[in-house]
Amino acid sequence: MDESFYRTLRTMLPSSDAIQRKRWAKDVVENKTNLKALMTKLLMEDKRVASRFLWLLSDIGEVCPVLLKKHIVHLFMLSKDIRDLDFKASFAKYWHLYGIPSEIEGEAIDLLFEWLMSSEVKVNTKARVVYALFKLTKSYPELKNELKSCLEIQRNQNSHNFHKVATKIMDQL
């Protein structure tokens, strides 16, 4: 891994904006940066660096979905040892957009349902969760009834927009 690039990110991520992160994402892909090593180091930094790095990972996923998908299992394993960073929104987004690797699929499905039913999870994260779970019902039709039951409970307990998402998905189940 390029130590200079790592130091730049460690220093500049906390005050970075979306434009800068998109440039870095392109650099990671074009320079074939060792994303696994970068993940391992930057997620162990302080919360501001690590949380902005999660945003950068989303940008990397937009530039090269295959690269992010390749490292989602590693990211998931790292997340288990990091207590002061909330990964829910990131994983809901990654799993919705890029799918869930088979190695962690069972655990991920359990987490997605847990997050959907939690009163502590933000509503926009819940919407991503719904889409990720709906995508899974294509491969696992037996999840449809559980998802529908959860949506019936949750759709009136969240925002108007979530209600619309839940109703739309329920109509498709």
pLDDT at 10 over 70: yes
Task: Give the up-direction half-sphere exposure of residue 22: CA atoms within 13 A in the CB hemisphere.
Answer: 4
pLDDT at 78 over 80: yes
What is the pLDDT at residue 84? Answer: 82
How many other C-beta atoms can be found within 10 angstroms of the C-beta atom of residue 164? 12
Region 100-128: mean pLDDT is 96
Confidence of residue 1 (pLDDT cuts 50, 70, 90): low
Using one digit for the tens of pLDDT, what is the confidence trace for 105-114?
999 999 999 9
What is the pLDDT at residue 2? Answer: 83
Region 150-158: mean pLDDT is 94
Distance between CA atoms of residues 11 and 76, nearest Å: 24
Distance between CA atoms of residues 128 and 123, nearest Å: 9
pLDDT at 83 over 90: no
What is the pLDDT at residue 138? Answer: 94
Where exactly are the structural domains of the chain? Answer: 1-85, 101-173
Q: What does the mean pLDDT of the chain come to?
A: 95
Using one digit for the tens of pLDDT, what is the confidence trace for 34-74?
999 999 999 999 999 999 999 999 999 999 999 999 999 99
The reported pTM is 0.90
**Hey, what are 162's tokens?**
């979530």
What is the pLDDT at residue 169? Answer: 96
Region 136-154: mean pLDDT is 96
How many other C-beta atoms can be found within 10 angstroms of the C-beta atom of residue 8? 13
Distance between CA atoms of residues 115 and 129, nearest Å: 7
